Amino acid sequence: MDLTLVVIQCLNGMQLGILLFLLASGLTLTFGIMDFVNLAHGSLYMVGAFLCATLTFWTGSFIWGVLLALPLTALAGIAVEFIVVRHLYSRDHLDHVLATFGLILCIDTMTHLIWGAEGIAVPLPAFLNGQVELFAGIIFPSFRLLIIGAGLIVAGGLYYLVNHTRLGMLIRAGASNRTMVSALGVDIQTLFTLVFALGAVLAGLAGMLIAPITEASIGMGNEIIITAFVVIIVGGIGSMKGAFIAAMLIGLIDTLGRSYIDDLFKLAMSTEAAETAAPAVSAMLIYILMAVVLTFRPQGLFPPKVR
């Protein structure tokens, strides 16, 4: 096995893991605090990407595009919370799943109506469009490196927010015991809206970071949201630490699976069968991981202490 390739694939896996973490952190927040299952979280990821794409062309700079799109995504999140989500907190998970499934259909179609079906390719500034040599022989696209860096900074920021601020205290308290927080006289509705907006911004950021690699396109969120759900289930709902570790784990498993499973299969079966089976099996890996984790730990790897 080529060691350089292994290192590069691990970096690729980390980059995917970071994106998953950005999505999963918002999910696990809304889930942990509001006990709300949001399938439409992926739609906010898509909205973020489209807003960023439009603003990048408008301002002529990707950086400005991101900076302007972030607050707009927050507003979009608040709007969704205000119109639909707010009325569902008292309902059960089944209602959440269905209503947000309806939201996905609505937001996807509205995006089609506003931006057209073709999707938008987002241009990067030249200094992000190249490659950097990390060590001898390890050459990696600079933008993917930026994603890893940005994601780690956000993760650090979230850690600080959750553990060292008043808002974080409420969030932690909310994840453990919701009734107690409202009994303490905290305006729970505002807290919920705030947390939902924060989740939207995190999802939007993930969308903005992936848009220059793939592109802003309709339904892009539905592809990744199920994986993000797998992340929070594996990590344990409501646990930020769990989300981070599970995201990295799943990013690595998925990427390494895509890289090496076909070679592995070729040892056991014909080349042709291996080539066809490998992509499907590597896509299956994360679900196998989830089933195994839930079999042995029905609450995920890091369940919050009190529920």
Partner 1 sequence: MTDQLDIARPARSTLPLTRIVTIGVLVALAVVPPLAKLSGYDFYLDLATRLVILAIAAVSLNLILGYGGMVSFGHAAYIGIGAYAVGIPAYHASYGEFDAIASYNGFFQIAIAVTASAVFALITGALCLRTRGVYFIMITMAFAQMVFFLFVSMETYGGDDGLVIDTRSELPLISLDDALTLYFVCWAALTVSVYLVHRITNSRFGLALQGAKGNEARMKALGFNTYAYRLTAYVIAGAMCGFAGALLGNFTTFISPEMIDWTRSGELIFMVLLGGTGTLIGPVVGAVVFIGLEEILSDITIYWHLPFGILLILTVLFFRGGIMGMVAMLVESRRD
Partner 2 sequence: MITKSMTTLLALAASAGVALAKDVKIGFVTTLTTPAGVIGKDMQDAVNLAVEHIGGKMGDLDVKILFEDDGFKPETGKQVTDKLVKQDDVDFVTGYIWSHVLLASRKSVIDAGKFLISSNAGPSPIAGKLCHENFFSTSWQNDQTPMAMGEVLNQQGVKSIYVMAPNYAAGKNMVAGVERTFKGDIKGKDFTKWGKDAQLDFSAELAKAKASGAEGIFVFYPGKAGGAFIKQYQQAGLQSVMPLYSVFTVDSISLPKFQAASMEGVLGSRMTQFWAPDLDTPQNKKFVSAFKAKYGKYPSFYAAQSYDTIFLIKSAVEAVNGDLSDMDGMRAAMKSANFPSVRGKFTYGNNHMPIQNFYLREVVKDGDGNWTTKIVSTVYENHQDSYAGECPLK
| Residues 6+ away with beta carbon under 8 Å from 39 | 96, 97, 100, 101, 103, 104, 225
**Which of 21, 143, 192, 196 forms a contact with partner 2 (CB under 8 A)?**
143
The one of partner 2, partner 1, none whose footprint includes residue 59, by CB under 5 to 8 A per kind, is none
**Which of 75, 79, 106, 184 forms a contact with partner 1 (CB under 8 A)?**
106
Which residues does residue 132 pair with via DSSP β-bridges, in sequence order? 140
Two structure tokens written together for 117: 């079906």
Q: What is the rounded radius of gyration, in angstroms, for the C-alpha atoms of the chain?
A: 20
CB of 78 to partner 1, least distance (A): 17
Residue with smaller CB distance to partner 1, 11 or 104: 104
Note whether 268 binds partner 1 by CB under 8 A: no
Note whether 269 binds partner 1 by CB under 8 A: no
Residue with smaller CB distance to partner 1, 29 or 99: 99
Span near partner 1 by CB under 8 A; candidates 44-52, 124-132, 203-211, 284-292: 284-292
Note whether 287 binds partner 1 by CB under 8 A: yes
Note whether 81 binds partner 2 by CB under 8 A: no
Site for partner 1 in 76-105 (CB under 8 A): 84, 87-88, 91-95, 97-99, 101-105
| Residues 6+ away with beta carbon under 8 Å from 19 | 147, 151, 206, 209, 210, 224, 251
Residue 193, helix vs strand vs coil: helix
Mask for 38-67, x = binds partner 1 (CB under 8 A): ------------------------------
Note whether 270 binds partner 2 by CB under 8 A: no
Residue burial 239-265, b: 16+ Cβ < 10 Å; e: rest:
bbbbbbbbbbbbbbbbbbbbbbbbeeb
- Half-sphere exposure of 106 toward its Cβ, with a 13 Å CA cutoff? 13
Site for partner 2 in 180-239 (CB under 8 A): 210, 212-215, 217-220, 222-223
Note whether 138 binds partner 2 by CB under 8 A: no
Two structure tokens written together for 198: 């924060």
**Which of 97, 110, 121, 269 forms a contact with partner 2 (CB under 8 A)?**
121
Taking the C-alpha atoms of residue 6 and residue 297, their distance in angstroms, rounded to an integer, is 30
| Residues 6+ away with beta carbon under 8 Å from 183 | none
The one of partner 2, partner 1, none whose footprint includes residue 57, by CB under 5 to 8 A per kind, is partner 2
H/E stretch holding 132: strand 131-135
Taking the C-alpha atoms of residue 244 and residue 112, their distance in angstroms, rounded to an integer, is 32
CB of 232 to partner 1, least distance (A): 9
The one of partner 1, partner 2, none whose footprint includes residue 5, by CB under 5 to 8 A per kind, is partner 2
Span near partner 1 by CB under 8 A; candidates 68-76, 124-132, 203-211, 273-281: 273-281
| Residues 6+ away with beta carbon under 8 Å from 241 | 235, 302
Residue 134, helix vs strand vs coil: strand
Binding region for partner 2 (CB under 8 A): 2, 4-5, 8-9, 12-13, 15-16, 57, 112, 116-124, 129-131, 139, 141, 143-144, 210, 212-215, 217-220, 222-223, 255-256, 258-259, 262, 275-276, 278-280, 283
